[in-house]
Every structure is written in C-alpha cells, then in structure tokens.
Structure 1
C-alpha cells in the first residue's frame, strides 16, 4: 500500500478504542470534589515530558490546575499519534499532547477537538542510512526502502523533503523509532527518518546522516499540538486558561534552571546526556501558547496535508483554536 493511502488510514478517527493501559501516577490523591484530568502523550511509561513533565516531576503541576477543578492527573502514553487518536475519539482522554500532524489529520477527519496550545515549536528530525551500501543523499532514496513512524510529524517531514526533490522510494514502511536501529542493522530498510534525539544517537554509533530538517528543510520542522475534545470544554472551559498559564510557568522555570531541566529531560527521555543536551533546545520552548512561528509551521503543515489528501476536509486554524484561548 502506498504512503499516500496508508497515512489517512492510520490517522483518521477510528471507532475502536486502543487500550490505555495502567494510569501513571498523579500529582496527588483525588479530593471529594473536582475531577481527574486524563492526559494522553506519545512515549512510554505513562509520563509527561517537556515543561509539563518538568512541573509534575517537581510536584508543581497539579497546584497550577486546581483552580480549573482538577484534583488528580492521570497520564496515558501511546506509541504514536494514530493510536492516541483512537483513545481520544472514544472519549477516554480529556487532553492530548502530541505532534501536529496526527492532530491536524484527526481534526480534518471530523474529530471534534479544539487546539489550546503549542508547547514545542521547531521540532527537528532527519534521515539516517544503513552503514554499508546505503544511499548518500536524499536523491539516493529513489527506489529504496525507507522507514519512519507513520502518522507523525517525522513522516510529514520525510514526504515533504522527498517531494521537493521529486524522489520516489520503492516503499515507505512503518517502524517505530525504537526499532529503527535493528531494521537498519539487519538491512531490512536502506534508510529511516527519525526524531532528532534518535538521529544523534544513531550518528554516534556510526550510522550516516544524509539530511537534517533544521539545516536542509526548515519548512518541515514540527510543532506540538495540545487539543481537548469539544464535549470536554462544555463543562471544563476553565482548563484552557489554566493550562496555558501552567505552560508559561513551566517554560519560565525550565529556562531559569536549564541544567535542572536537561537533567529531567535526560531521565525521562532515556538518551545519553550528550544527545539530550544537543537536541533539547530552549529556543523550542515558546513563551506564549501560540507564536507566529508556531502558527506558521502549523498552517504550512495543514496545507501540505490537504494537498496530499491526508486531511480530508480543510479547515481554518483560527476556527480550531479553542474559544477564550490566549494567542
């Protein structure tokens, strides 16, 4: 099946629920009033990452959300965006924080979500090849087998970069980022598009890097998207300003204690310190919930997905942003 046909299948809102698994530890016990906020993220271990994870690790996240009625936080992690979308459409999550591509496709497929913030802007990625006999440039991917985590911003970057050059691989296969090295080592694939941290880790092990989004294709840098179901907002509109304020505070604290934030990122990410420090950038943490750069990248991504027919129905980003959200 071609990449053009596969991505919509993976990303569109589906009817079946993907099991969430065991809830992560919250910031405190549930009180007699209020509600439990169920947050879906990409990763493993049911842990928040980024500035929200940094706040939660210090026990400071829940107090910033109690004014909106939140009494407990549960975190559910998913391997990729399409899986998270399954839980979101089934009503098993209140907040989803993930890459912009699956969030946009879900909205374009009719999933009733509202965008409340972008906590990370300018997320990098790149293409790495097998050590022996691999292609030496993106042009060399023509007729080759390439891996990526389909349905992600990385997939979108790969398709955009290849499209700019008119390059057509023989096949683009779905492989999770954690399994890419084994696939390259076995020769199952000739190259793979991966996030920045995975890219640098593979580079340190001798795998050639032939493209980096931030250096070669900055228009295809990714952003994060935090969305909530419209039905949830009807009863919990106060979460929007509380969430945005928590993001601003988390960003402020992270930048004020950058070494502490890097230590947290290393712990939760599981990458070596040198990789974490090279790929965790203060410039990627915006001071506001929405920035001109973030919205521009988001709009460009949406246009690309519409052109590729991955987004089934176009929509205005302004109409997607939640009412009352500070921009």
Structure 2
C-alpha cells in the first residue's frame, strides 16, 4: 500500500511580499544552453531564518537532484524559489514575468481568474490542505461554542471560506463578529485576546501550539473534510502557449517527488521540517498525507467550484466562469 501525501503549508491571500524576491526580470529568459528557466513563486510561512523553498513533491524532487534531468528533457532548467506572504502577489509576479510558475491555494487562484487575470492551471491537487480553528480559551473546544465570540478570518482567503462555512454549519456564524485579519496579525491577536479564535493552516497551527497555550476547536480534516482547501500550480496563459511542455515537465517532477516520499516518509518529514525551521512533529501531525494520482484531481476541481461560488456570493468575483473549461483547456 502506498503512503499518501499532501502539499505542505497553507496558502493565504493579501498584498504583502516577504524578503527574497529577486530583481525584476523576465521569467522566460533562456540559458546559455538554450533551456528556458523555471522559477517558482509560493506563499512562505517558514520559521525565523528559513529560506523560501517549495516543500511539495516538486520541491522535494528538486532538492534531491531529480528535477533537473526531467526539466532538461522538456527544454527547461530550474532557476529559483521566490517567497511571498500570501497568494495574490504570486499572481502579480506571474503577470509581470518575475516568476514562471506559482504554487498557491484555490481561493486566490479562482479570484485571480474571475477578475480577469490570464492564468492557467497546470496541476490541481486533491483538497487535503488542513485548516484548524485555534482558540485562546480551553472552554472554547468546539465550533458551536464560538457563537457570539469575535473570530479572526482573512477575508477572501481559503481560511475565510472554510471559517464561514464551518461556523454556519455549526450554528455559530455571526458576520458582525468576524474580523478581517491578515495572517501575520493572527498570532498576536489571539495571544492578546483581541479575538477569541482564528482559522489557520494546520501546519502553522501545529507550530503555534508548541509555543502557546491554545486550544483546537476543530480540524477541517476531521470534522468538515468537504471544506478542505486545495493547491494549484499555475502559469500564465502566454507562457503555457509558448512552452506547452511545461505541463508534462511539472507533473513528471511531482511524481518523482511523490515516489521518494512513499519510499521514506520519515526522511521527507525531516527534510520539510528543516526547510521550515519547525519541528518534525508539527509537520507530521498537521498533514493528512493524501495525494492524487491525477494531474487534475476531480475532488480538487469540485473545491474550485465551491470556491468560485463563495467568491461570487461575497461579491469578490462579479461573474462566474466555467471551472471545467479552465482547468482542462
């Protein structure tokens, strides 16, 4: 039996960038050997002193030296990773040509497409990105007990979509008690008691729990698995048109990484923890270790449709579009 995997790390929305963004330049730049450079942008929530690095199967394969021959076969060469605080700047960097590929979540991806950004999915993950509700009071140990409490959500994000749906499902949704909190502000707000609860990525929640006396009110992967978020790998329509081989190249590298993780999960967890400057235990307990054998996962597509419904309902996207056509074009 194979061991499943999920993409590590939460994906957020917002506007700020983190350090590490390289100088502006065309991501389509060629190399001396005629290969096209591939740079990957992603939200990065690693600990202090960490350097942005994709900790998905693609990043693991690249770290093991398995990506280079695959990419070269298809006419590409890996260049660098670029870290961002959240999702929208990844899209902005794609549009400006600063990066080639972006790895981010379903809500910011669908929002970008719905608002006219020319991005094209080359892979859609299974919806297994865990989200936890953390509270600062041991008595608030279930979502229904959050009724009437001030809740921090990052509006328009994967966590916003999950938080509103979960609160509503458990009879605790009150829009007047929701506070728009950027992810960077969530930890101090919870520590100071400015809010009673926040919805955050499972990988981050596990780290916070190691250093704070917080309580888990709910885990999406246990209590509301249909509300899990998913990850996408996207590029621009133009880059994919100019370099159609990028789809097969990326997926082959992903599969190589998955094969290595199946071979030795403990080795992978140790590597991911070292990249994120976190504990191995926080990596292990915050992941469902599930993955898709399909480049475009059907359950992931369903999640994209649900995200689109959420964004239209919130007025963030004005007009719906055909998700099936978008992911299969």
TM-score by length of 1: 0.83
Structure 1 outlier segments of 4+, above 6 Å: 16-20
| Residues 80-136 of structure 1: per-residue CA shift (max 9 Å, x gap) | 11222222233322211111110011001111111110245311111111137x745
Q: Does 2:84 align with 1:78? A: yes
Quick one: distance in 2 between partners of 1:278 and 1:135?
21
Quick one: distance in 1 between partners of 2:235 and 2:263?
29
Name the residue aligned to 1:55: 61
Q: Does 2:243 align with 1:236? A: yes
Consecutive unaligned residues of structure 1, counting only runs of 5 or more, are 1-9, 24-28
Quick one: distance in 2 between partners of 1:157 and 1:149?
11
Matched residue SS, 1:282: coil
> In 1, are the aligned partners of 2:190 and 2:197 still within 8 Å (CA)?
yes
Task: Select 2:167's aligned residue among 148, 162, 170.
Answer: 162
Q: Does 2:150 align with 1:145? A: yes
Name the residue aligned to 1:21: 21
Q: Does 2:196 align with 1:196? A: no
> In 2, are the aligned partners of 1:80 and 1:151 still within 8 Å (CA)?
no
Name the residue aligned to 2:10: none
> In 1, are the aligned partners of 2:66 and 2:253 still within 8 Å (CA)?
no
Q: 1:152 to 1:268 in 2, by over 3 A?
A: farther
Task: Select 2:288's aligned residue among 270, 281, 284.
Answer: 281
Deviation at 1:307, TM superposition (A): 2.7
| Residues 206-236 of structure 1: per-residue CA shift (max 9 Å, x gap) | 3111121122222210110111100111211
Question: What CA RMSD, in Å, does the superposition of the two structures yield over aligned residues?
Answer: 2.7
Name the residue aligned to 2:305: 299
Matched residue SS, 2:230: strand
Quick one: distance in 2 between partners of 1:83 and 1:145?
28
TM-score by length of 2: 0.82
Q: 1:315 to 1:78 in 2, by over 3 A?
A: same
Consecutive unaligned residues of structure 2, counting only runs of 5 or more, are 1-12, 24-29
Q: Does 2:95 align with 1:95? A: no
> In 1, are the aligned partners of 2:152 and 2:181 still within 8 Å (CA)?
yes
Q: Which has the higher contact order (CA 8 A, sep 6+)?
A: 2
Deviation at 1:321, TM superposition (A): 1.9
Q: 1:79 to 1:31 in 2, by over 3 A?
A: same
Matched residue SS, 1:39: strand
> In 1, are the aligned partners of 2:311 and 2:317 still within 8 Å (CA)?
yes
Deviation at 1:143, TM superposition (A): 4.4
Deviation at 1:20, TM superposition (A): 6.4
Deviation at 1:78, TM superposition (A): 0.6
Q: 1:89 to 1:166 in 2, by over 3 A?
A: farther
* Count of matched residue pairs: 303
> In 2, are the aligned partners of 1:124 and 1:221 still within 8 Å (CA)?
yes
> In 2, are the aligned partners of 1:262 and 1:280 still within 8 Å (CA)?
no
Matched residue SS, 2:292: coil
Name the residue aligned to 2:3: none
> In 2, are the aligned partners of 1:41 and 1:96 still within 8 Å (CA)?
yes
